[in-house]
Structure 1
Amino acid sequence: MTTEQTPPKQEPEREPEQEGPDKATVRKAVAASAIGNCIEWFDFGVFSAGVMTAIVGTVFFPPDDGGGAALRSFAMIAAAFIARPFGGMFFGPLGDRIGRKGVLAITIILMSGSTFVIGVLPGYDSIGMAAPLLLLVVRLVQGFSCGGEYGGAATVIAEYAPTKRRGFFGSFLELGTLSGYVLGAGLVLGVDLMLSDEALHSWGWRIPFLIALPLGLVGLYIRSRLEDTPEFQKLEQAGEVARSPLKETLLHNWRMILNLIGIVILLNVANYMLLTFMPSYLSQNLDIGDTEASLITIGVELAMIAVIVPLGALSDRVGRKPLLMTSAIGFIVVSWPAIALMQTKQPLAVAGGFALMGGLLVLMLAVIGSTFPAMFPTRVRYGAFAIGYNISTSLFGGTAALVIEKLIKTTGSNYIPAYYVIIAALIALVPILVLPETARVPIGKCGRSSKPVPATA
């Protein structure tokens, strides 16, 4: 007697998982995004280098014996930030409606072209008060374009990167920031060392600004060879692209925008204080030579470049919030001792104090490219990010150097930078605590707590 053998139970066929972009495409998207940030911060690196701050303040303005050249340069840096929220409100929702690629092509040309124009503008000696007015107009155009650049670049990386490596790839955005700053400051240092004071003040100062245009053309070429992000293409194919992204952003995402603003207060106060104000602070407030101050800042920034990508990869394993919390608490505890070290005016102590604050800043920089885009749904990601980020940047980042310099002159205290960043860190702690952890959440599922307006609305 034979027993009939029961055939093995067939497992239902699994639907193959949808594959993401190949590695080469992801790398191209990361490069295309990071180069825009590099160009933006190349401008800051040039504009805020110690020797350049003084030159710009004298070339474009009437003579002033009161030592106000640095303040006038910082005012021009701050002026660009007036236009950033408007750029964010224009380019961000536009990127949610027509796609990320086209908008980012516009912003990179506007940014690099504006920096180039500064290099060819005539000075006060040639055209009088028209010189500072023209400089102001160019800075406003720069600010308007920057308002659409950063949010779009971060969105592109986040929407291309694999979920498990979003922190790793997102860190390259701020690698572009640091690289652009080092490139700009290093170029100014090189020109300063090679030229005589007369040549530098006459025409040599223009060279770093002129370099921005070819950098922008390289960035435009890379971006033109990239398709729009997979997440945006999914929205288009499903017919779910937001018809009124600005309305949807403000109506249903305002709470998360406020959270973003709170975190960005610390990010930008620390960022702009260290990268745009500190070179001038070292040379003018602590009487450290321009060359020595530049070498200290560039050296610390090179160290930050070395660790930012490993820190981004670490956030893929431990999450973004632990790094953000460490940074905020660290700034509260360490800022005063770090500035106190700088007061000794000893090169090693100054470098050590700068390095302490740079180490805390790089903890934030490593994760914001993967954290901020994940706070919002795909339909309004570009616009919500750009609006919140640029409002906070305009109010607290762009004004940081100007306000700190003014407070130092008013109070006579060189510890103002420490007090300023401690207050910013205390504010940022609250939104960081309530921030949802998105390290292992696919970008398409991030920010879904918002209530989208129907596509037909």
Structure 2
Amino acid sequence: MPTTARPPNVAQTDTVPSGHSSRRAVVAGGIGNFIEWYDYGVYAALSPVISSLFFPSESTVASTLSTFAVFGVGFVVRPLGGLFFGQLGDRRGRRTALAWALILVSASTLGMGLLPTYAAAGVAAPALLVLLRLLQGFSAGGEFTGSATVMTENAPVGRRGRVSSWQQFSVITGTLAGVLVVTAITNLGSADALENGGWRIPFLLSLPLGAIGFYIRFRMADTPHFQALREAGEVAERPAAEAVRTQRGAMFTAFFYTALPNIGFYTFLTYTPTFLHNEAGLSLGDAYLANVIGMTVYAALTLVMGRVSDRVGRRPILIAHAAVFFVSAIPIYLLMSHGSLWAALVAQLPAMLIMACYSGPGTAGLTELFPTRLRYSGMALPYNLSSAIFGGTAPFIATGLIAWLGTPLAPAFWAMAAAIPTLIVYLRMRETAFEPLRDR
């Protein structure tokens, strides 16, 4: 049974983060997330175009499956990236790890904008695409958990939900920015603008974004919690091995904690334009528009739910997320497959509210599971394994299930299956919103 009692051997630093350090952490942590998920948003939104340029086939399903298979490839190496950056962040500091993660993601995203297409380079084109997706996935393995750690460890007492919700906000707005750029090119250019080179523009924009982000991260200091640990000489020498040895329960919880949210994010958001275009028959412009409106609402609700979680706790909101997701997945997909823009918009609103019940308190609740000494490493491995298994495969599985079962409702079945273990984890986890962060 869950309990709010503080576990034994809990210690926390005497250094209290200030509001100023929180704001700097939000900007420094969020900029890399923004760029990382900007690319994910661009790739997913451009999937109908990428499938024709890099995986030409007489079958639309085959081309789409190939495109989302490459999308999923990037997730395969995320656990390795999490292991590398987690070790680096827990031993050398959060700033060092996040700076290198940002360099990798910016360079690989820029490279995608310079790729030759299948018509120009044959099989070398999709091979290079896979290579760059692997680099992006490796960097993402350290980006999400690193920025979550930085924001949470810089948050004042009683405001961790509010501050860390900006981490999810940067993920959502990064994805939104990617979709907006693609939408603008689609609606303002000619009918063939995307296929005739317009698809490169969103990827090339990562160069100035990355330069700004690196400058911001280079100037940031490590968190008060990590600095106190380092000054005390208690930084872990082998944090990943120590986390596996001492944090197995928390790591198991973290794995299923993010299972349903990963499926929800990569189906309700990144896969939505493809679903609305291929299954509901909407034009690409209308599909992108519905997605943009939904994500805008989602971003705003995330900040609201983060604040609410500081008042009522993480568990009640997380439990509502999983339970309501389970019962509403089929009605939402039924509405989205109706074939009209208005039906898609009506479906997006409840879907985004359900997702915000995770994205608001989710980052704080996840990071609070681990002590500062092992937080980056302990969180990185289970989170990235969960992302690889449930998130990276979500668009591929959704497309495959629709083709196999012959119904556009098929993605809802996968989400409902994942909701069960996630709900169990939420019901059993301890409430951490009202406790100080553990350092050791």
The amino acid that maps onto 1:20 is: V
* Residue equivalent to 2:40: 44
The amino acid that maps onto 1:37 is: N
In 2: Cα distance, 1:65 partner to 1:232 partner: 55
Asked if structure 2 preserves the Cα contact closer than 8 Å seen for 1:316 and 1:439, the reply is yes
1:323 to 317, 326, 335: 317
Asked if structure 2 preserves the Cα contact closer than 8 Å seen for 1:56 and 1:73, the reply is yes
2:206 corresponds to 1:212: yes
The amino acid that maps onto 1:30 is: V
Asked if structure 1 preserves the Cα contact closer than 8 Å seen for 2:18 and 2:156, the reply is no
In 2: Cα distance, 1:435 partner to 1:163 partner: 21
Shift of 1:344: 2.4
Structure-2 change in CA distance of 1:18 and 1:250 (3 Å): closer
Shift of 1:407: 1.1
The amino acid that maps onto 2:57 is: D
2:42 corresponds to 1:57: no
2:304 corresponds to 1:300: no
In 2: Cα distance, 1:196 partner to 1:70 partner: 23
In 2: Cα distance, 1:42 partner to 1:323 partner: 27
Shift of 1:69: 2.5
Asked if structure 1 preserves the Cα contact closer than 8 Å seen for 2:301 and 2:353, the reply is no
In 1: Cα distance, 2:169 partner to 2:103 partner: 20
Asked if structure 1 preserves the Cα contact closer than 8 Å seen for 2:65 and 2:399, the reply is yes
In 1: Cα distance, 2:363 partner to 2:106 partner: 22
Asked if structure 1 preserves the Cα contact closer than 8 Å seen for 2:105 and 2:139, the reply is yes
2:153 to 156, 159, 170: 159
Shift of 1:24: 2.2
User: After superposition, what is the alpha-carbon deviation per residue over 1:72-103, rounded to whole angstroms, capped at 9, x for unaligned?
Assistant: 21111101011101101111122111111001
1:35 to 31, 36, 41: 31
In 2: Cα distance, 1:351 partner to 1:57 partner: 26
The amino acid that maps onto 1:397 is: G
Shift of 1:435: 1.1
User: After superposition, what is the alpha-carbon deviation per residue over 1:272-315, rounded to whole angstroms, capped at 9, x for unaligned?
Assistant: 11112111011101111111111111101111122221211111
In 2: Cα distance, 1:423 partner to 1:303 partner: 26
In 2: Cα distance, 1:280 partner to 1:409 partner: 14
Asked if structure 2 preserves the Cα contact closer than 8 Å seen for 1:117 and 1:138, the reply is yes
Shift of 1:186: 0.5
User: After superposition, what is the alpha-carbon deviation per residue over 1:214-267, rounded to whole angstroms, capped at 9, x for unaligned?
Assistant: 111111111111111111111111110101111101111112111111111111
User: After superposition, what is the alpha-carbon deviation per residue over 1:352-393, rounded to whole angstroms, capped at 9, x for unaligned?
Assistant: 122222110111001112111110111110001110100010
In 2: Cα distance, 1:213 partner to 1:325 partner: 40
2:405 corresponds to 1:407: no
* Residue equivalent to 1:118: 112
The amino acid that maps onto 2:125 is: A
1:176 to 163, 170, 193: 170
In 2: Cα distance, 1:241 partner to 1:423 partner: 40
In 2: Cα distance, 1:387 partner to 1:158 partner: 18
Asked if structure 2 preserves the Cα contact closer than 8 Å seen for 1:53 and 1:69, the reply is no
In 1: Cα distance, 2:37 partner to 2:314 partner: 24
Gaps of 5+ in 1: 1-16, 449-457
In 1: Cα distance, 2:253 partner to 2:160 partner: 21
* Residue equivalent to 1:26: 22
Shift of 1:121: 1.0
SS at match of 1:198: coil
Alignment of 1:16-415 (within 5 A): 18=14, 20-49=16-45, 52-61=46-55, 63-67=56-60, 68-415=62-409
Asked if structure 1 preserves the Cα contact closer than 8 Å seen for 2:29 and 2:147, the reply is yes
The amino acid that maps onto 1:47 is: Y
In 2: Cα distance, 1:208 partner to 1:44 partner: 11
* Residue equivalent to 2:9: none
SS at match of 1:197: coil
Asked if structure 1 preserves the Cα contact closer than 8 Å seen for 2:110 and 2:203, the reply is yes
In 2: Cα distance, 1:174 partner to 1:379 partner: 23
Asked if structure 1 preserves the Cα contact closer than 8 Å seen for 2:148 and 2:367, the reply is yes
In 1: Cα distance, 2:308 partner to 2:264 partner: 22
Shift of 1:113: 1.4
Asked if structure 1 preserves the Cα contact closer than 8 Å seen for 2:19 and 2:155, the reply is no
Shift of 1:23: 2.2
Shift of 1:327: 0.5
SS at match of 2:159: helix
Shift of 1:419: 1.0
Length-normalised TM-score, structure 2? 0.94
In 1: Cα distance, 2:294 partner to 2:341 partner: 13
Asked if structure 1 preserves the Cα contact closer than 8 Å seen for 2:15 and 2:225, the reply is no
Gaps of 5+ in 2: 1-12
Asked if structure 2 preserves the Cα contact closer than 8 Å seen for 1:272 and 1:398, the reply is yes
The amino acid that maps onto 2:340 is: Q
Once the two structures are overlaid, the 10-residue window that deviates more, 347-356 or 323-332, is: 347-356
Asked if structure 1 preserves the Cα contact closer than 8 Å seen for 2:370 and 2:438, the reply is no
Shift of 1:18: 4.8
Asked if structure 1 preserves the Cα contact closer than 8 Å seen for 2:32 and 2:143, the reply is yes
The percent identity for this pair of structures is 38
Give the alignment's Cα RMSD to 1 decimal.
Answer: 1.4
Asked if structure 1 preserves the Cα contact closer than 8 Å seen for 2:42 and 2:202, the reply is yes
User: After superposition, what is the alpha-carbon deviation per residue over 1:161-188, rounded to whole angstroms, capped at 9, x for unaligned?
Assistant: 0121111001000110111111110000
Shift of 1:25: 2.2
Asked if structure 2 preserves the Cα contact closer than 8 Å seen for 1:93 and 1:246, the reply is yes
The amino acid that maps onto 2:334 is: A
Asked if structure 2 preserves the Cα contact closer than 8 Å seen for 1:264 and 1:389, the reply is yes
Once the two structures are overlaid, the 10-residue window that deviates more, 182-191 or 332-341, is: 332-341
SS at match of 2:360: helix
SS at match of 1:276: coil
Shift of 1:19: 5.4
Shift of 1:26: 1.6
Length-normalised TM-score, structure 1? 0.91
Structure-2 change in CA distance of 1:199 and 1:299 (3 Å): closer
